[in-house]
Amino acid sequence: MERRKFLQNTIQTGIALSIPLPLSAFQSNGHKKLRIGLVADVHQDTIHDGYERLKYFMDDMNERQPDFLIQLGDFALPHKYNEPFLDIWNSYKHPTYHVLGNHDMDDGFTKEETMAWWGMKERYYSFDSNGFHFVVLDGNKKGAPWIGYIDEEQQEWLKQDLAGTKSPTIIVCHQSLEREHDWGVTNGDQIRSIIGQANMDDNKAKVIACLSGHHHEDYVRVINTIPYIQINSMSYKSLGDGKYSNIRFPKHIEHAHPILKLTFPYRDPLYTMLTIDPEDHTIHIEGCSTVYISPSPKEAGLDDEGKITSTITERNIKY
């Protein structure tokens, strides 16, 4: 399928959603629109065609030239055979940013090893682009039966970082900050309290949105006027057990990727372009949609009640 045709089709199938948030007191200060290429949960070490999926994304980004790229974690492990995959990512001529995911320390690798291989200097950090401030958090400490906790050192740093900026801010974390009882950051309520205090102290919505991956879902939840945006996986939906296990691919592929049978792979790669418009105070999420490689969840007998989808929905979010 031609890339441009695929994108046009997926945008047409997206559903525009405007979330009624109050306009902030931020002025545009003459800044232009900020465009971000965004991808979540590629899972190069689970999916059999991660290289091709990432290349598809990078070819499109090289054509469209957003200001920078972010990958939201569960990206690729520092195995030597993954070097061509990382080379594709590193080929982008503009800035690229990494977020650590819980599976980026699989196979016995440490955070330090993965970070060094990626070229990621700090496990949490912040940066500025075109009048906007971005905060990247590390939610990969065990705080419950799962890995999802933001430590006290990082919490104190976050307070200071938010206090030190006057710019509209987007917080990025692999695990969601609004699902502390459902595989998200288990102390998400504490982080939301820090965000709320920062917004209150500044007398305006300093933090305008939070982005996450991890859950392989597609939704926006608004808490205290802040949208928590969940970006779907580039590659698949996983249910985490063998109840819906299916063999879809030739034996050599299934043998090399033993977790693949526990997933519902997407036929095409899912990703998005996020555009922030300082003039009309809008965050636009570009729509993208595909189908499952059969059997789909429905064909496998799973009644998902619409919660499982091979889509990134088009949305317009006011801030």
C-alpha to C-alpha distance for 273 and 88, rounded to whole angstroms: 18
One pLDDT digit (tens) per residue for the chain, 319 residues:
445 444 444 444 433 444 444 444 455 556 799 999 999 999 999 999 999 999 999 999 999 999 999 999 999 999 999 999 999 999 999 999 999 999 999 999 999 999 999 999 999 999 999 999 999 999 999 877 889 999 999 999 999 999 999 999 999 999 999 998 889 999 999 999 999 999 997 666 799 999 999 999 999 999 999 999 999 999 999 876 678 899 999 999 999 999 999 999 999 999 999 999 999 999 999 999 999 999 999 898 887 656 789 999 999 999 9
The pTM assigned to this predicted structure is 0.89
User: Which own/partner contact pairs does 50-53 have at CB distance under 8 Å and 24+ positions apart?
Assistant: 50/76, 50/85, 50/235, 51/84, 51/85, 51/88, 53/234, 53/235, 53/269
C-alpha to C-alpha distance for 225 and 207, rounded to whole angstroms: 10
Measured CA distances, 205 to 27, 141, 227, 306 (Å): 12, 28, 11, 32
C-alpha to C-alpha distance for 125 and 130, rounded to whole angstroms: 17
Task: For residue 112, give both structure tokens.
Answer: 């330090």
Strands 125-129 and 132-136: antiparallel
Which domains, ranges and CATH numbers included, belong to the chain?
31-280+293-318 (3.60.21.10)
Give the contacts of 77 (CB within 8 A, at least 6 positions apart): 44, 45, 104, 106, 107, 109, 114
65-97 residues labelled b (16+ CB within 10 A) or e (exposed) = ebbbbbbbbbbbbbeeebeebbebbeebeeebb
Q: What pLDDT is stored for residue 8 in this prediction?
A: 45
267 and 291 Cβ atoms separated by less than 8 Å? yes
Q: What pLDDT is stored for residue 306 in this prediction?
A: 66
Q: What pLDDT is stored for residue 203 in this prediction?
A: 65
